[in-house]
Amino acid sequence: MLSWVLFQENLKIAWQAIKSNRLRTILTISIIAFGIMALVGILTAIDAIKNSLNEQFAIMGTNTFQISNRTMKVRIGKHGRARYYENISYRQAEKFKASFDFPAWVSIQMYATGRGTIKYGSYKSNPNVTVIGADENYLKCSGNTIAQGHFFTQKDLTGGSNVVVIGANVANHTFDNKENPINKMISVGNQKYRVVGVFKSKGNSITDRTDDQCLVPLLVARNNFYSSDISYTINVTPKNLAIMDLAVNEAEAQMRKVKKLKINEDNNFQIDKSDNLANMLFENIKYVTISATIIGLITLLGAAVGLMNIILVSVTERTREIGVRKALGATPKTIKQQFLFEAVFIGQLGGILGIVFGIIIGNVVSIFTGTGFIIPWLWILLGVFLCFVVGLASGITPAVKASKLDPIIALHYE
């Protein structure tokens, strides 16, 4: 019972000491809060980005891989020439699709242009619209869905009809809110197209630009956007995720046959799984997380030094008070607790303030990435623990110094 009374008394004295040195306390709390805010804020923002990426790749599907031309330049010998790998031709892409005997959907795509212009009535877009040509399996291999209208019919795909499926942003910018875009005639470049469908919006995404693109039948894209330098892309989606690796190996072997590569020749194409980009981005984010943690810890180290200085000054200023308490029967343990409580108090106040601001700042990023409000419980607990360690480490030396003061000398201190 007596120890509990002493504990409460020490808490009360520590709180009064904090209030009596408001300026120094506020400055120290601010430094601690800044360190925790940087730590929790950046890590919360990173969690928001990770959640956004996970959602986007879940939409794209993790069971899709892409075969494209290998773009790396290779220089043979010291004075050799730079070698450009051969593009994947339409004939090669069609041959692969026809001969790939595997339970999977295969879609051939062609990047027509990234500088397309949309015209409708008096509206004219900037020349930054992406135009893609694709076949009947595009939806199965891309993870996209149709919000209005329909996808290309077989007649559209084989008859060379100038029809187009547009992204959500293209539809919003081209047409008024109340106007139905289906069956409207728009100009894409120098050709007129009939809008047959609108893709469902995927929102803000750094991995998918479907909202800002136009999709036309592959045959139409070849006729209207012909270029001798075009390389076709093949998307493959196995019907069972469990056979993904087997599908990749089979596709590589089949593509080598199509390309007529010899056993000792390297692939002149590349295969990228849809989760490769996610893994690469997460790997890069890991280094950002480490950097943010180091910045926060360095700031907290500075705060710890400042807090220790404040407590040491407090011990010096309250030497007579310590002498009086010892003369009245206070033990060295009680005096030590008093100053430790004071240091831990300041550390926790700074931590709470930093955590609140860190969560707010971190969730500003979640607004832009379209994810929900995030409460990073792990980082909150880490912040509380770090602040406790900072308070304890900063207060231990001054507390020991105070507990060892001779009460007679302390009473005569001026």
Q: Which of 267, 301, 335 is the last residue of a domain?
A: 267
Retrieve residue 29's tokens: 């709390």
Question: Do 248 and 300 have their domain in common?
Answer: no
**339 and 191 housed in the same domain:** no
Of the three residues 210, 240, 267, the one that is the final residue of a domain is: 267
79 within domain boundaries: no
Decide if 66 is inside a domain: no
pLDDT band at 278 (very low <50, low <70, confident <90, very high): low
pTM above 0.85, yes or no: no
Q: Can you give the residue range of the structural domain that contains 367?
A: 2-57+280-411
Give the pLDDT score at 411: 59
Has residue 64 been placed in a domain?
Answer: no
Same domain, 305 and 400: yes
- Parallel/antiparallel/unpaired status of strands 191-199 and 163-166: parallel
CA angle 309, 313, 315 (to 5 degrees): 115
Let me know if residue 72 belongs to a domain: no
Is residue 91 located within the same domain as residue 218?
yes
For 128, counting Cβ atoms within 10 Å of its Cβ (0-12 exposed, 13-18 middle, 19+ buried), the class is exposed
Do residues 344 and 393 share a domain? yes
Tell me the one-letter amino acid at 204: N
Residue 274 lies in a domain: no
Residues 382 and 389: their CA atoms lie apart, in Å, by 10
Query: For the chain, how are helix, strand and coil distributed in percent, rounded to 5?
Result: 55, 15, 25
Give the chain's domain count.
2
Q: Which two tokens mark 47?
A: 């969690």
Q: Are residues 204 and 114 in the same domain?
A: yes
Position 393, amino acid: A
What confidence category does residue 2 fall into, taking pLDDT thresholds of 50, 70 and 90?
Answer: very low
The answer to whether residues 238 and 365 belong to one domain is no
Would you say residue 222 lies in a domain?
yes
**43-72: per-residue pLDDT in tens?**
777 777 777 666 665 555 557 888 988 765
Cβ atoms of 42 and 370 within 8 Å: the answer is: no
Tens digit of pLDDT for each residue in 374-391? 777 777 787 788 778 877
pLDDT category of residue 408 using cuts at 50, 70 and 90 = low
Are residues 247 and 294 both part of a single domain? no
Please check whether residues 37 and 133 belong to one and the same domain: no
C-alpha distances (whole Å) from 362 to each of 30, 52, 384, 412 are 18, 13, 17, 53
Amino acid code (one letter) for 279: N
Q: Are residues 241 and 312 in the same domain?
A: no
